[in-house]
Amino acid sequence: MDRAVLVIETDFSDSDFQIEWPEIAEIYTTSQFIITLKNREEYAGTIEGPRDSLRLITNEKGIVTVQIEDIVLLKGFEGTFKDRFFANIDLGFSLTKANNLRQFSTRSNIGYSERK
């Protein structure tokens, strides 16, 4: 889910399906997700049910019932190390002719998603 749009990848289509999050009536998943709620609680598990009483099925807390509007982030959760690892590097360069000023900047981020 990115910017309140759910993106579904399929093997049989060249382009992904995109559905606006508020328009979803029911959702049932078999894949594991990291689910973040408005109150900043995070769960790892699957989702099932209608929009007004979604059930988050987790290993840690069992079944948790939430409203679809309470979910702010869904991130796929794969089982292998390489699928959980992420990294990025940003580079920047600024040039100001008036002062003959040059500036180079870098920023990096590395992380690993885990169930807890």
pLDDT of residue 91: 95
pLDDT of residue 104: 93
- Of 86, 76, 72, the residue nearest 5 (C-alpha): 72
Q: Are 4 and 18 in contact (CB under 8 A)?
A: no
pLDDT of residue 83: 67
**CA dist., res. 77 & res. 81, Å (int):** 11
Question: Is the pTM here over 0.75, yes or no?
Answer: no
Tens-digit pLDDT string for the chain (116 aa): 767 788 877 778 778 888 888 888 888 888 888 888 889 888 888 889 988 888 888 877 888 888 888 888 888 776 666 767 789 999 999 999 888 899 999 999 998 876 66
pLDDT of residue 109: 93
Continuous segment of H or E residues that includes residue 5: strand 5-8
pLDDT of residue 107: 95
